[in-house]
Structure 1
């Protein structure tokens, strides 16, 4: 699935060079579940952006099924993201003027899915996250947990191979956090998805079979004994 080889990412802050990633080597197999932890500014989100093709490394290779994302044109990279990768973020990123159904449909528009099929697939995705009776609700009419469920449905409606989540429970209370993590794990297992999540929450991290810790751009990976 994924193979990262010698991946570096450097930024400039004034005259200072920041090494967000410093020679990362990482393998993630089909169906793996990996959690990434580390201090703020340690490179967690940068690594996730590399996996999602949202940013390019300064050097090194990011291989997805043998294709080096770093070498693709922007047009081809956009197509790979659209077809293969679903994203879930802390802030939900829902369009406030669109209903839950319409928000989920937006993920299918760039793929050229016909209108009737978009509605059917979006409704099915919302049903799978427990929101089958909330299709016509606006984000403002939904709780934080429900909004994140809409965001998860939007990520999964494309039928991706990979689901990437950046602090998906960061805006939720403890009980809702556990519900969302249960949902993500269940859906990824059901659909055979590769799942990579960034989190600062140790209670969430302990549940993952593999835990990657990244500090000052360098990564260590260990097998975990999942809780829950």
Structure 2
């Protein structure tokens, strides 16, 4: 699925140059589950952006199914993201004036699906996250946990190969955090996704079979046989 070789991402901060990632080598198997953890500013979100084709490395290669995302023209990279990669963020990123169903449908527009097909797929996706009765509600009429479920449905409606989640439980209380994690873990198994998540929550990290810890741009992998 993913093969990263020598991935370095360098930023300029005033007169200083900072390596958010410093020569990262990483393999992620098809259908695998990986949690990324580390201190603030350590490179977690930068690594996730590389995996999602949202940013390009200064040096190195990010191969996805044998294709180097770092070298793709922007139009092809946009197509890969639209077809193969679903994103879930801490802040939900829902459009406040659209209903839950319409928010989910937005992920299908780049795929060229017509209105009826989009509506059917969106309703199915919302049903799979327990919101089949909330299709017509706008985000302001939903709880934080329900909004995150809409965001998860939006990520999954295009039937991606990969689900990338950046602090998906960061805005939720403990009980809702556990509900959302159980949902994500269940969907990972059900759909055979490759699931990669950034979190600061150690209790979540301990549930993952594989943990990537980033410090000063370098990655250490820990296997958790008990997960």
TM-score (norm 2): 0.99
Distance 2:37 2:62 in 1: 20
Q: CA deviation at 1:224?
A: 1.3
1:73 and 2:68 correspond: no
Residue matched to 1:119: 119
Counterpart contact for 1:86–1:156, Cα < 8 Å? yes
Distance 2:202 2:179 in 1: 16
Counterpart contact for 1:48–1:198, Cα < 8 Å? yes
Q: Deviations over 1:52-86 (max 9, x none)?
A: 00000000000000000000001000000000000
SS in 2 for 1:108: helix
Q: CA deviation at 1:226?
A: 4.6
Distance 2:36 2:65 in 1: 21
Give the total of aligned pairs.
227
Counterpart contact for 1:208–1:225, Cα < 8 Å? no
Which sections of structure 1, spanning at least 5 residues, go unmatched?
none
Distance 2:114 2:90 in 1: 30
Which sections of structure 2, spanning at least 5 residues, go unmatched?
none
TM-score (norm 1): 0.99
- Superposition pairs of residues 122-133 of structure 1, within 5 angstroms: 122-133=122-133
Distance 1:224 1:210 in 2: 6
- Superposition pairs of residues 186-197 of structure 1, within 5 angstroms: 186-197=186-197
Cα root mean square deviation, aligned: 0.6
Residue matched to 1:134: 134
Distance 1:226 1:165, change over 3 A: farther
Residue matched to 1:201: 201
Distance 1:207 1:226, change over 3 A: farther
